[in-house]
């Protein structure tokens, strides 16, 4: 499987970016926007990119994309969105031409978020938090639920290893809703612009995870231009698997940066619904009959336990499922976080 977008025969723009109009990718890669609930007439502002990773509405993005929208709660124990912030994704998978109205249900609110961070409580100062892993999970439900679940991209958490000179592709929404030439950026009637772009570059440096660094997550330096707005978007290898996220990284350095998933165990923890060893497969709780055949499975542990009791079954454990082929494999994984 090659890159998810074929740039052969395509012409890049002045930023060396390729316009992506594939509905498959537009349905799975979403722009993130911030609203102020106290100013309902104000225009939303772009805050990077997220992408769908499983059939249960989980999305991945980069922690730094949303870092400034959160604050530590009064108890100093966790974080929440600031009072003047609401976050939504814009879901417009189909192609259109000219000026088109944005359907009301195209704005998809964030229902939950999950990440690892550290809260600092300096004496006499307000508590603050620190980005530790540069990865964040969001729950963003689609406008039109499907029996097959939310569409998603295949994510490779462990088997891919980067090498110098290897090509990767990033996809995201650069310069989201910036005014075009001749447009007044402050005009309230200015059309809303959101274009998905791809960029291909070669890996020029590899930095494994290192807790001694201010930014301890593993990083790739890429010989490419990934403008603001692409942050949080997926980074693909040439097999078509997502192997990282467009990231903040090498301070003061040129080129682009990606946080890659392999070589450390944090992605296995935070993206716990994914089978870490098999891209496109997912971890579920399962109930098995006396012959060891899977009878029923799902994400809700309590629901699976009730089903087992109601049907007199007591063989219970984790199972890896391919939702496309419905093939399953019993797993030794004990549990996954309910992010």
Distance from the Cα of residue 259 to its chain's centroid: 12
Tokens standing for residue 267: 């992605």
Confirm if 174 and 227 have CB atoms less than 8 A apart.
yes
Q: Give the C-alpha separation, 309 to 304, whole Å.
A: 9
DSSP-derived secondary structure letter, 119: E
pLDDT value for 336 = 47
DSSP-derived secondary structure letter, 106: G
Q: In terms of CATH architecture, what is 18-270?
A: Beta Barrel (2.40)
Angle CA(209)–CA(235)–CA(8) in degrees, nearest 5? 145
> Strand, helix or coil at 159?
coil
Residue ranges per structural domain of the chain: 18-270, 282-330
pLDDT value for 240 = 95
Predicted TM-score of the model (pTM)? 0.90
Give tens-digit pLDDT for 93-126: 766 666 677 888 888 989 999 998 888 877 777 8
Nearest CA among 60, 59, 13 for reference residue 198: 13
Which regions of the chain are under pLDDT 70?
1, 94-99, 179, 181-182, 248-254, 332-339
pLDDT value for 337 = 46
Which helix H or strand E contains 215, and what residues bound it?
Answer: none
Give tens-digit pLDDT for 149-179: 899 999 999 999 999 999 999 999 998 777 6
pLDDT value for 333 = 52
């Amino acid at each position: 499987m090659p890159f998810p977008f074929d740039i052969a025969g395509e012409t890049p723009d002045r930023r060396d970016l390729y316009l992506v109009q594939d509905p498959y990718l537009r349905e799975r890669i979403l722009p993130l926007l911030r609203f102020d609930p106290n100013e309902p007439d104000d225009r939303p502002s772009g805050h990077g990119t997220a992408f769908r990773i499983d059939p249960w509405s989980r999305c991945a993005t980069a922690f730094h994309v949303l870092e400034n929208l959160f604050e530590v709660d009064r108890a100093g124990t966790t974080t929440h969105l600031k009072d003047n912030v609401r976050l939504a994704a814009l879901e417009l998978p189909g192609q259109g031409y000219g000026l088109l109205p944005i359907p009301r249900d195209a704005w998809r609110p964030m229902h939950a978020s999950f990440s690892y961070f550290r809260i600092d409580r300096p004496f006499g100062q307000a508590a603050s938090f620190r980005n530790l892993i540069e990865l964040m999970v969001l729950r963003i439900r689609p406008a039109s639920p499907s029996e097959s679940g939310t569409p998603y991209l295949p994510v490779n958490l462990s088997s891919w290893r980067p090498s110098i000179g290897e090509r990767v592709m990033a996809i995201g929404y650069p310069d989201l809703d910036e005014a075009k030439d001749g447009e007044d950026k402050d005009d309230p009637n200015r059309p809303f612009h959101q274009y998905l772009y791809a960029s291909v570059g070669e890996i020029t440096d590899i930095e494994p995870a290192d807790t001694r660094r201010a930014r301890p997550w593993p990083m790739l330096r890429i010989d490419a231009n990934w403008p603001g707005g692409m942050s949080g978007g997926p980074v693909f290898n040439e097999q078509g698997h997502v192997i990282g996220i467009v990231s903040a990284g090498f301070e003061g350095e040129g080129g682009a940066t990606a946080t890659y998933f392999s070589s450390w165990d944090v992605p296995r923890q935070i993206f716990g619904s994914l089978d870490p060893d098999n891209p496109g497969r997912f971890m579920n709780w399962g109930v098995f009959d006396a012959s060891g055949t899977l009878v029923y499975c799902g994400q809700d542990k309590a629901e699976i336990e009730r089903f087992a009791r109601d049907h007199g079954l007591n063989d219970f454990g984790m199972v890896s499922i391919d939702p496309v082929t419905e093939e399953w494999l019993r797993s030794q994984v004990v549990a996954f976080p309910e992010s």
